[in-house]
Amino acid sequence: MQALRSLLFAAVAGFAIAPSVASAAPSGIPTDGSVADTAEKVVDSVVTIATSATMKLSPEQQFFMQQMGGDDSALTQQAQGSGVIVTASGRVLTNAHVVADAEDIKVTLPGGTEVNAKVVGKDVHADLAVLQLQGKLPPLKPITFGDSSAMRLGDIVLAVGNGLGVGKSVSMGIISAKGLANLGIEEYEDFIQTDATINPGNSGGALVNLKGELIGINTAIASKSGGSQGIGFAIPTNMARPIMEALIKDGKFSRGYLGVNIGTVTPAMLKEVKLGASEGVVVGGIQPGGPAANTGLRMGDVVVGIAGKAVKTDQELRTAIAASKPGTAIDLDVVHQDGKKQTVKVKLGELPEETRTVRQPQMQRRHR
């Protein structure tokens, strides 16, 4: 079993991506004005977010400031990002990291009006937050939500946000890949990849289709230089919308919790450990007293399905569990190490905040 634990750690900790990637650009850019029409339609649904927070200085930094005659008590950290208006009453959807640790949040609306905002709720696991604009508001233009699952590789998209702090701007690209996970950006990932230009300040902004529908929240880029290199990532709306609705209703998003350590079955693992299935998600450990304890699930089992739907990767299983509400009874299709099959019923608990995985970011977020 020690070999299994070691292999699982390697599988979970490794950086591996196997997305389907677009092999060619779309056949042609529309010439009937639809791009311009779309840009004009959505630009007034995107806002600029500015935050400030007191900087936390190390003892060495405090000493340096004192030697320089500075006032370390007045130091503040400022940052900018973007957000999307989702209700006429002033709810704004953005990234959680845009407003992380913010003591003051100001939002610049279309037309230049600046208003204060407060956080309604945050989900740090998926990097989403909802704000409520304060005070007397001018008429707002909520964005229309689209079906992100309907997007195809090569579809043209527009990214709207406050890139590089120059003010709201629009860039165009295509859907380069879908369903990206294991990037090490967030705990729960199902990213859309696009080559639409995304730069610092774009975090929390809109990724829209040519109907002007929101299909993603721009979140991060892969970059060696810190600027856009044509690989940007957005949280799809089909993932973001239920989280947003829960944050508006309850101030938080509760996720199901199974209480197991898991990893995707790999050829290397099969050479070292005898498993009952050559494909699926292997159980590397079960938390004592957790939801999966005393259910018939055992270390070395391979989970091949959940609720009758096949699962092949740990990310698929993790996402399915997290999308289920605490208290939900789920059926896991399991193959034991001796090859025997069993359906194991588990009543999910609620994911504790402290179970969030600490990751070294492989990608760069773009609001600072």
CATH number given to 20-42+144-253: 2.40.10.10
Choice between 80 and 67, residue whose per-residue pLDDT is larger: 80
* pLDDT at residue 8 tops 50: no
Query: Nearest CA to 247 among 100, 92, 120?
Result: 120
**% residues pLDDT > 70 (the chain):** 77
**Are 20-42+144-253 and 43-133 in the same CATH fold?**
yes
Q: Is 301 a catalytic residue?
A: no
Quote the pLDDT of residue 341. 94
Do the beta carbons of residue 127 and residue 235 sit within 8 Å? yes
CATH architecture of 2-14+255-350: Roll (2.30)
pLDDT tier at 353, thresholds 50, 70, 90: low
DSSP-assigned letters across all residues of 37-99: HHHHHHGGGEEEEEEEEE----HHHHHHHHHTT--GGG-EEEEEEEEEE-STT-EEEE-GGGS
The ranges assigned to domains in the chain are: 2-14+255-350, 20-42+144-253, 43-133
CATH architecture of 43-133: Beta Barrel (2.40)
Catalytic choice (45, 82, 123, 127): 127
Query: Nearest CA to 145 among 233, 238, 48?
Result: 238
Number of Cβ within 10 Å of residue 82's Cβ equals 29
Q: Is 125 a catalytic residue?
A: no
Q: Is 44 a catalytic residue?
A: no
For residues 201-227, b (16+ Cβ closer than 10 Å) or e, as one string?
bbbbbbbbbbebbbbbbbbbbbbeeee
Threshold 0.85, pTM exceeds = no
Choice between 365 and 271, residue whose per-residue pLDDT is larger: 271
**Considering the chain, what is the average pLDDT of its residues?**
81
Cα 361 to chain centroid, rounded? 13
Catalytic choice (45, 82, 97, 301): 97
Catalytic choice (148, 176, 203, 324): 203
Quote the pLDDT of residue 318. 86
